[in-house]
């Protein structure tokens, strides 16, 4: 059996160098990395990352604000009218000149008919003549005025259902003004987020650049991607929701009377 060497320790040395075709580009690349590290780049997007109000939106907000502060005189008129109904202002026949004229015309016809009968009988001006005439006019008054009274009593009952909605409508202008404020707060929030984004970007910029520079030199450091994103704000609000409430309230007028339904719809549809 022959004897031979059998070394127990073997040392292997290996080098990991860039390929020869890469080596000519390394020095310029490292120089570029150094220049980038010492430069001011990268920079935050120079313009605002939020979208301001369009001229139409700004005008709409100003108009809505003015309307909300001034209020709607039609609402006061509607509330006053319902209050008149509830307090019985129209139970008195004197509040309706057309009803009075109707009664006067009909009373004249009744008087002529009764007096004609007693005149033909030769008893015009007698006690019986006056008694029958008074009874006839009283019956006519009951028929004419009682119907008006019953109608107004029904209007009073139905107005109790409309009154809460008219009371709530007082807050429509307040809500509209709050909506204008909310829109401006949304824009202010977007502007603040834009400023915070720029501030935080500049705070982190040196660390990001250092990591990228070390990474270019081959150091095992995490790489960070720099990205600018727009700041979005809520644009889904509407300043016209008050018209919907007006439409709902207008429907309630029909429960009082069909005539008031048409007028009430036109009036309350303008509340906003």
Indicate the pTM of the whole model: 0.54
In a domain, 138, yes or no: yes
Does residue 167 lie in a domain region? Answer: no
User: CA–CA separation, 257 vs 158, rounded Å?
Assistant: 9
Alpha-carbon gap, residue 143 to 157, rounded angstroms: 22
Q: Is residue 110 part of a domain?
A: yes
Total structural domains in the chain? 1
Task: Look at residue 26 and tell me if it is in a domain.
Answer: no
Q: What confidence score (pLDDT) does residue 5 get?
A: 53
What pLDDT score does 217 carry? 78
Cα separations in angstroms, 15 against 18, 19, 140, 192, 253: 10, 11, 124, 54, 94
CB 106 within 8 A of CB 142: no
What is the span of the domain harbouring residue 140?
Answer: 88-157
pLDDT at 264: 43
Residue 35: CA count within 13 A, CB half-sphere: 6
Q: Consecutive 10-residue runs of the chain (272 residues): their mean pLDDT? A: 56 68 79 87 88 90 91 87 90 83 87 89 88 89 86 88 86 90 93 92 88 80 68 60 44 48 40 41
- Indicate whether 149 belongs to any domain: yes
Residue 150 lies in a domain: yes
Structure tokens at 97: 């000149």
Those residues with Cβ within 8 angstroms of residue 136's Cβ, 6 or more apart along the chain or in another chain: 110, 114
> Do the domain assignments include residue 164?
no
Any domain includes 143: yes
């Amino acid at each position: 059996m022959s004897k031979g060497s059998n070394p127990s320790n073997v040392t292997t040395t290996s080098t990991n160098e860039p390929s020869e075709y890469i080596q000519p580009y390394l020095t310029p690349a490292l120089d570029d990395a150094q220049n980038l590290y010492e430069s001011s780049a990268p920079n935050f997007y120079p313009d605002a990352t939020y979208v301001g109000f369009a001229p139409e939106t700004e005008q709409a907000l100003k108009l809505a604000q003015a309307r909300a502060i001034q209020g709607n005189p039609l609402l006061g008129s509607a509330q006053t009218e319902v209050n008149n109904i509830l307090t019985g202002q129209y139970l008195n026949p004197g509040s309706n000149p057309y009803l009075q004229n109707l009664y006067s015309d009909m009373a004249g016809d009744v008087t002529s008919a009764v007096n004609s009968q007693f005149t033909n009988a030769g008893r015009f001006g007698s006690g019986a003549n006056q008694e029958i005439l008074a009874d006839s006019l009283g019956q006519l008054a009951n028929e004419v005025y009682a119907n008006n009274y019953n109608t107004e009593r029904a209007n009073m009952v139905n107005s109790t259902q409309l009154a809460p909605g008219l009371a709530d409508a007082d807050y429509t202008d307040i809500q509209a003004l709050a909506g204008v404020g909310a829109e401006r707060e949304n824009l202010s929030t977007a502007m603040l987020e834009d400023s915070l984004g720029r501030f935080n970007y500049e705070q982190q910029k040196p660390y990001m650049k250092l990591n990228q520079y070390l990474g270019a030199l081959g150091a095992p450091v995490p790489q960070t991607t720099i990205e600018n994103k727009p700041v979005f704000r809520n644009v889904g609000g509407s300043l016209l929701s008050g018209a919907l409430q007006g439409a709902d309230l207008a429907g309630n007028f029909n429960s009082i009377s069909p005539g008031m339904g048409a007028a009430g719809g036109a009036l309350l549809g303008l509340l906003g």
